[in-house]
Amino acid sequence: MKRRKIVAGNWKMNNDLNEALGLVTEIKGIVKDEVRNDAEIILFPPYISLASIAKNIEKHPILLGAQNVHQENVGAYTGEISVSMLKSVGCSYVIIGHSERRQYFSEDNELLNLKIKRAISGGLVPIYCIGETLEERENGDFWDVLKTQLWEGLEGISAEIAPEKMVIAYEPVWAIGTGKTASTEQAQDVHSYIREELAEIFSPETAAQIRILYGGSVKPDNAKELFSAPDIDGGLIGGASLKSRDFCEIIKAVG
Ligand code: PGA
Model pLDDT for residues 6-25, shown as the tens digit of each residue: 999 999 999 999 999 999 99
76 within domain boundaries: yes
Check residue 16 and report its DSSP letter.
Answer: -
Q: Which amino acid is at 188?
A: Q
- Of the candidates 63, 89, 90, 66, the residue with the CA atom closest to the CA atom of residue 6: 63
Ligand 1 and 97: CB distance under 6 A: no
237 Cα nearest atom in ligand 1: 3
Contact 153, 187 (CB under 8 A): no
31 within domain boundaries: yes
Mean predicted confidence (pLDDT) in 39-47: 98
- Beta pairing class for 125-130 and 167-170: parallel
Check residue 241 and report its DSSP letter.
Answer: G
1 within domain boundaries: no
The pLDDT score that the predictor gives to residue 181 is 87
End-to-end CA distance of the chain, in Å? 18
Long-range contacts, 219-228 (Cβ 8 Å, 24+): 219/181, 219/246, 219/250, 220/246, 220/249, 220/250, 220/253, 222/181, 223/249, 223/250, 223/253, 224/253, 224/255, 225/184, 226/181, 226/184, 226/187, 227/5, 227/253, 227/254, 227/255, 228/184
pTM value is 0.97
Ligand 1 and 237: CB distance under 6 A: yes
186 within domain boundaries: yes
Distance CA 130, CA 140 (A): 16
The pLDDT score that the predictor gives to residue 178 is 87
Ligand 1 and 41: CB distance under 6 A: no
In degrees and rounded to multiples of 5, residue 232 shows phi and psi of -100, 115
Q: Which residues of 196-215 are buried (b: 16+ CB within 10 A; e: fewer)?
A: ebbeebbeeebbebbbbbbb
100 Cα nearest atom in ligand 1: 8
- Structural domain of 50: 6-252
Q: Kindly report the CATH number assigned to the domain that includes residue 163.
A: 3.20.20.70
172 within domain boundaries: yes
User: pLDDT tens across 116-155, in order?
Assistant: 999 999 999 999 999 999 999 999 999 999 999 999 999 9
Query: Which residues, including other chains, have CB under 8 Å from residue 26's CB and lie 6 or more apart?
Result: 244
- Of the candidates 54, 79, 67, 170, the residue with the CA atom closest to the CA atom of residue 119: 67
240 Cα nearest atom in ligand 1: 3
For this structure, is 40 an active site residue? Answer: no
User: pLDDT tens across 167-197, in order?
Assistant: 999 999 999 988 888 899 999 999 999 999 9
Please give the tally of structural domains in the chain: 1
**What is the chain's mean pLDDT, rounded?**
97
Ligand 1 and 216: CB distance under 6 A: yes
